[in-house]
Amino acid sequence: MPDDDSTGGSRRETVTIDGHKVTLTNLSKVIYPETGTTKADVLAYLAAVAQPFVAHATGRPATRKRWVHGTGGPVFFQKNLDDSAPDWVHRRDIQHSDHVNTYPLVDDLATLTWLGQVAALEIHVPQWRFGRTGVEHRPDRLVLDLDPGPGTGLDECVQVALWAREILTGMDLEPFPVTSGSKGIHLYAALDGAHDSDAVSAVAHELARALQADHPDMVVSDMKKSLREGKVLVDWSQNNRNKTTISPYSLRGRDKPYVAAPRTWAELEAGGLEHLLADEVVARLERDGDLLAPLLTGGHAALEPTAERMAGFERTDRLEVYRSKRDASKTPEPVPEAPSGGPAATSDGEEAAAPTFVIQEHHARALHYDFRLEHDGVLVSWALPKGEPVDTTHNRLGVQTEDHPLEYGSFEGTIPKGEYGAGTVSIWDRGTYDLHKWREGEEVIVTLHSDGSGGTDRGSRRLALIHTAHTGGGNSWLVHKMADEGAGSHGARRRAGGGTGGSSDGSGEGTGDGAAEDTATEVRDGASGSGGSSSGSAKPITPMLATPGSVEDLDEDDWAFEMKWDGIRAIATVVADREGSPGSVRLTSRNGNDLTASYPELEVLSSCVTEDVVLDGEIVALDRGGRPDFGRLQTRMNLTARRDVAAAQKAQQVDYMAFDLVERAGRRLTRVGYDGRRAALEEVVTESGPVHVPPAFTSDAATALAASKELGLEGIVAKRRSSTYRPGRPAHTWVKVKHVQTQEVVVVGWRTGNGARAETLGSLLVAVPDDSGTLRYAGRVGTGFTEATLGRLAEELARHPRATPPVDDVPAADARDAHWVRADRVGEVAVSGWTAQGRLRHPVWRGWRTDKSPSDVVRENA
């Protein structure tokens, strides 16, 4: 049964599927507007078809198309797997021409459910699978995509499918038809795995050419759009290793929940073929079973243990890199001529010896400690620049190095100058270890038992090593000391302060204690951070700032893209509601002003979090179309009297867009990378009423910017996924890209109005600091005001007069009838650029920025 974590009006459920927990949110959200199909309906469909869906998709790297706002909104295409994905999702890396992508494998119902939760409606996979050890197998199926061109449809595709069946059966290949759920028909045939993708593509290409030669009036095998009018394209290219096809049983992102659905040849021959909807596919599956089941036996012949295939399992030389860096005639280190054998052989019934570890103090160019674990016949090795962690609250960095031979476990000596690793090596600690978890390349958890041979019995301690894919490169790991309770009873307990690195320097992200199974999630997701101020700390954190930029500034592989919200920045310090004890919320602006009294509807935040937190987000006022309107927000700003706030709230509600998690359960997460903070944010905050966690996307900048424009938003903020949180500082790891250029300005005066404005003001005089921080006159702002705004501005500015201009470069014509004010208030204008004289071009008033100080203002060039 699911655990119902619902709060307020928004239900949040956590379900356990095959031992994996999946958090489901916004189940009533409409995904297919035309039919009213909700996320709950999508998840129910996936559960109903999971068995055949997974059977055909398992082992295949999956690219996804996500409709997070429903199919009426923009689509986001994803290859790389987010770091926020659950650790239990199976994944594999693929080397592309200039980068590596990590793809999920749809190997189980839990993964399929998680994909449904994140609105990944379309799952596209290649015709080959990864093997158990990560080796790419040859294709186990051939596919032909029959794609109708303009003026043709399913009827024409059916005719081409029947012609193709004749050729395929003549090749001893049995084809199985699938209506794609979009436009055409896919034909699949099982293969025995004897040929690679290039060979299969070549055969498919020839088949397509043969169909074109036999039926030139209806078939085309060339993809040029100019040739496709009135014809069906036989797309053979999806047999390429790098191409994908919609997975059988996958939903499609159309107006209705159509499905890539298996069909029978009798249906095709009967005529009148149409695409099927999700409920129809479920009913057919219950009645007919999986019509594609014969495809699943296609690759079994490739698994026969012939001598040729068994030769591929010869032991890999894990010491090849080690030997390539050393010359046995020049270094005292052990350099075996052949790979070390596998684990030591034991006689029947004899218990194998416990594996060993060694930590060596290495005085090379810089002092570091080499940590080595016996595993798979070698010493798997990491260099620890600051040694192992001294307590459970401070992690240490580990950089994985090449595997070393087992003989290295007893090595001490001096490596000569000029040789690799030159310097003195001595044993700091050595002994045996208990293995709790070893996920190759991802996570290792061990309990070390010192034997004192390093000169000191350092007792027992449990360490977790977590691979951090986006921190410092592909070889970087976090080393975390787990709670003493997990260290076992062997030898003396590890005592605080006994670590290899001496006193703690706070480097790395801290993590709280936890069971071995949860350590990777805690460290990566920031389940708790290195000690720091609690959520109730007296001094609020200052938010991190983005720098202006453009799409061209962004490397698409390492950025997440969030929508830019047209509001005011607010740090929310939240004490969670507890049974019998209401929580509390404190809102502070970027410059530290207390905003809590102005926005009482946001007190609901305390019921939307599962623990005490500090959030970073934006307060916005939405129009009837759900778009942020900064003008509307102006009516809520600077109000503190309860009566005034209540009246303004009745006329205009505000919402809070939470986009970052700065503290969790009293521990700072500022050293945790963006992906980890983002995953933790989604875990602890439940959307309800005015509280939202807007989605982040990892597609590409241009797509995200286009989606922002389509949604009527201000732009995007691109955040480097490896970036830490830098309070109060602008950083190039956060880049804001706007559709309309805006400029913050310091108001330095105003001019008397004429005509209808004679009783208020005619224009504002504004300035912007130069690179040295000196205010420079930037021109007049005379548009963008409503009558109510003009009245309020006149009243507000009259309270801040001064006798002389705050800037010394105002032209005489502008200064002639000016009223000067103290340069202590910041506003915002929309502009089309800057003139060569340093004046704002076509400025339009947008409103006050009470969350900004004059020292925050910088010139933003277009």
Mean pLDDT value across residues 557-583? 88
pLDDT tens digit sequence for 99-134: 778 999 999 999 999 999 999 999 999 999 998 778
Give the per-residue pLDDT at 496: 30
Where are the chain's structural domains?
320-339+353-525, 545-738, 742-856
DSSP 374-398: EETTEEEEEEETT-S-SSTT--EEE
| Common-topology check for domains 545-738 and 742-856 | no
pLDDT tens digit sequence for 151-189: 999 999 999 999 999 988 888 889 999 999 999 999 999
pLDDT level of residue 395 (50, 70, 90 thresholds): confident
Give the per-residue pLDDT at 695: 84
The residue whose two tokens read 């693929």 is 94
pLDDT tens digit sequence for 271-299: 899 999 999 999 999 999 999 999 987 54
Give the per-residue pLDDT at 386: 86
pLDDT tens digit sequence for 657-679: 999 999 998 888 988 889 889 98
Question: Given a cut of 70, is residue 581 above it in pLDDT?
Answer: yes
pLDDT level of residue 487 (50, 70, 90 thresholds): very low
Q: Read off the tokens for 779.
A: 């021109």
pLDDT level of residue 783 (50, 70, 90 thresholds): confident
Q: Percent of the chain at pLDDT above 90? A: 45
Question: Given a cut of 70, is residue 352 above it in pLDDT?
Answer: no
Question: Given a cut of 80, is residue 517 above it in pLDDT?
Answer: no
User: Chain-wide mean pLDDT for the chain?
Assistant: 83
Amino acid (1-letter code) at residue 317: D
pLDDT tens digit sequence for 308-351: 444 444 445 788 888 888 988 999 999 987 644 443 333 333 34
pLDDT tens digit sequence for 242-277: 899 999 999 999 999 999 999 999 999 998 999 999
Mean pLDDT value across residues 465-484? 70
Class of domain 545-738: alpha beta
Distance CA 20, CA 14 (A): 10
- Identify the weakest region by mean pLDDT among 21-30, 552-561, 846-855: 552-561
Question: Given a cut of 50, is residue 481 above it in pLDDT?
Answer: yes
Residue 701 and residue 737 in contact, taking contact as beta carbons nearer than 8 Å: yes
Question: Given a cut of 70, is residue 142 above it in pLDDT?
Answer: yes
Give the per-residue pLDDT at 97: 62
Residue 83 and residue 125 in contact, taking contact as beta carbons nearer than 8 Å: no
Distance CA 319, CA 312 (A): 18
The residue whose two tokens read 């969790």 is 664
pLDDT level of residue 741 (50, 70, 90 thresholds): confident
Q: What is the 3-state secondary structure (H, E, C) of 663-714?
A: EECCEECCCCCHHHHHHHHHHHECCECCEECCCEECCCHHHHHHHHHHCCCC
Give the per-residue pLDDT at 484: 55
List 481, 564, 736, 852, catalytic entry: 564
Give the per-residue pLDDT at 555: 63
> Does 29 qualify as catalytic in the annotation?
no
Distance CA 587, CA 599 (A): 9
Burial code (b: 16+ CB inside 10 Å, e: under 16) for 812-822 equals: eebeeebebbb
What are the CA-CA distances from residue 354 to residues 431, 439, 827 (Å)?
9, 19, 69
DSSP 529-557: -SB---TT-SSPPPPPEEEE--GGG--GG
pLDDT tens digit sequence for 42-100: 999 999 999 999 999 999 999 999 998 899 888 888 888 887 889 899 999 887 766 77
Burial code (b: 16+ CB inside 10 Å, e: under 16) for 703-716 equals: bbbebbeeeebbbb
> Residue 667: which of 834, 820, 523, 570 has the closest Cα?
523
Give the per-residue pLDDT at 504: 30
Phi-psi region of 406 (alpha: psi -120 to 50; beta: other; left: phi over 0): alpha
The residue whose two tokens read 């720091």 is 532
Mean pLDDT value across residues 739-752? 88
Distance CA 585, CA 95 (A): 47
Architecture of the structural domain at 742-856: Beta Barrel (2.40)
Burial code (b: 16+ CB inside 10 Å, e: under 16) for 389-424 equals: bbebbbbbbbebbbbbbbebbebeeebeeeeebebe
Residue 493 and residue 484 in contact, taking contact as beta carbons nearer than 8 Å: yes
Residue 614 and residue 574 in contact, taking contact as beta carbons nearer than 8 Å: yes
Q: Which residue has the higher pLDDT, 525 or 90?
A: 90
pLDDT tens digit sequence for 622-645: 887 778 888 889 889 888 899 999
Q: Percent of the chain at pLDDT above 70? A: 86
Give the per-residue pLDDT at 228: 85
Q: Read off the tokens for 588.
A: 């502070």
Mean pLDDT value across residues 380-387? 91
Distance CA 645, CA 637 (A): 9
> Residue 779: which of 793, 792, 765, 768 has the closest Cα?
765
Give the per-residue pLDDT at 41: 96
Enter the DSSP assignment of 648. H
